[in-house]
């Protein structure tokens, strides 16, 4: 009876921790994607060409964002396990590494896009009107990249020490700021000039600057679990930097290759027609919005699994991982149903041609099916495998499935077989089906679980847990 009571308490504690992290992260991402939705609705009211231009022009930022996500998510592999050890000194040093690398990458990407906006646009589309509007947008929005690098890196990492409310507060304020200044500068309200697509860029820059100010003040004045010091940002222990590269680099490469693959989706569809670009823009925005809780659930999974491993509770980590993957699938089923129920509402927000509307309706049905497989992959790759330190396997799986299967099939479907937009979209997302099968097999093997922490002098603090099959 005592054993059963303890098990029940463990489940309740895990559920409480899961919801405490997952709900705020989901809300944070909902606010982030709501900004994209409002941008696309406001710009979409100017016309389909302008909407397509902003969609294409945001591809460099998408790649940059995924690079930042990979960098900070890789750090979370280490942070979650060190948090289980309650080693706050090492966690603060990891934060310093993340901030340093994020800002340096941000400076590099800003320079490239600022100097070569037209060639960047030409990588994704040959439609000249789309390129012209996209260049207008890029020349403004590029100044949001560096503040975003700092803010995103900090807020993603801090959730691994179970601090999630600051992100919700930050993005709530940012959302309001972005929508207001978009309205002012896109349409020329309150005496401001009507800048059109460039006005959307102005709104984004102001919102990113606001986020940066809020997070910097919080990090320096309020946060107690992590210390943001200049000496941690400028210099790091060699052994810790090596561990960071060992576990974070595969995540970063993973996310970048996935991002390049998604960018290839846009390039393939962009060469089909303007209608195809508009379709994927609307579907992608809707998909991101309805799957925010799946992302929140996978983030919570990473923290929970990593924390249990850091506490050396290996059996609990295994059992928690199984339970959390099932929870993610249940969430996905509800999400897919909501997506189908809301698809007509999403479509009503946009001024699109009848041809685009027909393609969009069918593509949304395909996207709803993809959600089920996507949830398994998010739970396993972003949650369990990264929390368990199994970042190299996750990287190989993502790269092979996308670049070896999905992208080639999508290109053949678009250019050789002449398939419809919904069929090409399915082929481009077919990697989700393949990955889901492989992920479940990896879960069953138990080979994903490994300890990645060290003592403060860089020596191993414990042997690796025994590997065995888990049913």
Angle (CA) 48-205-74 rounded to 5° is 95
- Spatial contact of 127 and 52, defined as CB atoms under 8 Å apart: yes
Q: Which residue has the tokens 């403060």?
A: 456
pLDDT in tens, 105-140: 999 999 999 999 999 888 877 788 888 988 999 999
Give mean pLDDT, residues 2-11: 51
Contact 451, 302 (CB under 8 A): no
Mean residue pLDDT of the chain comes to 86
Which has the higher per-residue pLDDT, 264 or 456?
264
DSSP 462: S
pLDDT at site 46: 84
Q: What is the DSSP annotation of 280-321?
A: HHHHHHHHHHHTHHHHHHHHHHHHHHHHHHHTT-HHHHHHHH
How does DSSP assign 270-291, residue by residue?
HTT-HHHHHHHHHHHHHHHHHT
191 to each of 127, 181, 188, 291, 353, how far by Cα in Å? 33, 12, 7, 38, 33
Give Cβ neighbours of residue 101 (< 8 Å, ≥ 6 apart): 71
- 311-330 core/surface letters (b: 16 or more CB in 10 A; e: else): ebbbebbbbbbebbbebbbe
In the structure encoding, which two tokens stand for residue 424, read together?
């090409």
Q: Predicted confidence band at 407 (pLDDT cuts at 50, 70, 90)?
A: very high
Partners of 454 in the β-ladder: 460
pLDDT value for 470: 39
* The pLDDT of residue 359 is above 90: no
Percentage of residues in the chain with pLDDT exceeding 70? 94
Residues 6+ apart with CB under 8 A from 211: 147, 148, 151, 170, 171, 173, 174
Mean pLDDT of 61-86: 87
Taking residues 18-43, what's their average pLDDT? Answer: 79
Which residues, 6+ apart, have CB-to-CB distance to 124 below 8 Å? 56, 59, 263, 266, 267, 270
What is the C-alpha to C-alpha distance for residues 380 and 214, in angstroms, rounded to an integer? 33
Mean pLDDT, rounded, for 381-402: 92
Mean pLDDT computed over 65-94: 89
CB proximity list for 64: less than 8 A, separation 6 or greater: 105, 106, 109, 145, 148, 149
Report the pLDDT averaged over residues 245-262: 85
For the stretch 325-357, pLDDT in tens is 998 999 999 999 988 988 888 788 777 788 888
pTM summary value: 0.78
What are the Cα distances from residue 239, in Å, to 94, 296, 449, 454?
A: 11, 31, 21, 9
pLDDT of residue 1: 43
* pLDDT, average across residues 395-413: 93
What's residue 5's pLDDT?
39
Mean pLDDT of 430-441: 95
pLDDT tens-digit readout, 209-232: 999 999 999 999 888 888 888 888
* Low-confidence winner among 175-179, 266-270, 404-408 (lowest mean pLDDT): 266-270
Mean pLDDT of 362-368: 92
Beta bridge partners of 460: 454
Q: Tell me, what's the pLDDT at 11?
A: 67
Res. 471: pLDDT tops 70: no
- As a whole number of angstroms, the distance between CA 411 and CA 391 comes to 29
Q: What is the pLDDT of residue 469?
A: 41
- Proportion of the chain in helix, strand, coil states, percent, rounded to 5: 80, 0, 15
Sign of CA dihedral 130, 29, 340, 325: positive
* Least confident interval from 145-154, 271-280, 297-306, 388-397: 271-280
End-to-end CA distance of the chain: 24
CB 389 within 8 A of CB 246: no
User: Strand, coil or helix: what is 460?
Assistant: strand
- The predicted structure's pLDDT at residue 468: 46
């Amino acid at each position: 009876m005592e054993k059963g009571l303890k098990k029940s308490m463990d489940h309740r504690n895990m559920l409480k921790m899961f919801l405490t992290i997952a709900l705020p992260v989901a809300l944070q991402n909902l606010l982030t994607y709501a900004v994209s939705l409002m941008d696309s609705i406001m710009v979409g009211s100017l016309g389909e060409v302008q909407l397509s231009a902003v969609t294409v022009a945001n591809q460099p930022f998408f790649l940059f964002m995924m690079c930042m996500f990979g960098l900070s998510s890789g750090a979370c592999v280490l942070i979650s396990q060190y948090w289980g050890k309650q080693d706050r000194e090492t966690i603060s040093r990891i934060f310093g590494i993340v901030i340093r690398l994020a800002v340096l990458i941000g400076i590099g990407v800003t320079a490239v896009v600022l100097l070569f906006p037209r060639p960047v646009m030409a990588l994704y589309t040959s439609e000249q009107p789309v390129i012209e509007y996209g260049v207008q947008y890029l020349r403004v929005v590029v100044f949001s990249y560096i503040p975003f690098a700092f803010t995103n890196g900090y807020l993603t990492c801090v959730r691994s020490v179970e601090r999630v409310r600051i992100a919700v507060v930050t993005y709530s304020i940012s959302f309001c700021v972005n929508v207001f200044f978009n309205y002012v500068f896109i349409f020329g309200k309150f005496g401001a000039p009507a800048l059109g697509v460039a006005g959307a860029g102005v709104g984004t820059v102001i919102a990113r600057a606001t986020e940066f100010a809020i997070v910097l003040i919080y990090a320096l004045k309020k946060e107690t679990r992590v210390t943001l010091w200049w000496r941690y940002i400028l210099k790091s222990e060699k052994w810790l930097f090596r561990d960071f590269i060992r576990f974070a680099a595969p995540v970063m490469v993973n996310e970048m290759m996935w991002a390049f693959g998604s960018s290839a989706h846009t390039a393939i569809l962009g060469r089909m027609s303007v209608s195809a670009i508009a379709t994927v823009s609307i579907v992608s925005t809707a998909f991101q919005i309805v799957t925010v809780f799946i992302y929140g659930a996978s983030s919570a999974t990473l923290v929970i699994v990593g924390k249990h491993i850091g506490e050396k509770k290996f059996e609990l980590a295994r059992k928690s991982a199984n339970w959390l993957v099932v929870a993610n699938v249940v969430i996905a089923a509800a999400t897919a149903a909501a997506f189908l129920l809301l698809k007509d509402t999403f479509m009503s927000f946009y001024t699109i041609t009848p041809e685009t509307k027909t393609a969009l309706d069918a593509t949304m049905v395909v996207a709803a099916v993809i959600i089920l497989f996507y949830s398994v992959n998010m739970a396993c790759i972003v949650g369990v495998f990264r929390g368990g330190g199994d970042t190299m396997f996750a990287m190989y799986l993502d790269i092979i499935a996308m670049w070896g299967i999905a992208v080639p099939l999508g290109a053949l479907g678009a250019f050789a077989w002449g398939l419809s937009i919904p069929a090409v979209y399915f082929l481009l997302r077919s990697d989700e089906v393949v990955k889901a099968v492989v992920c479940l097999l990896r879960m069953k093997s138990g080979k994903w679980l490994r300890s990645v922490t060290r003592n403060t002098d860089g020596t191993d603090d414990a042997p690796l847990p025994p590997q065995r099959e888990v049913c």
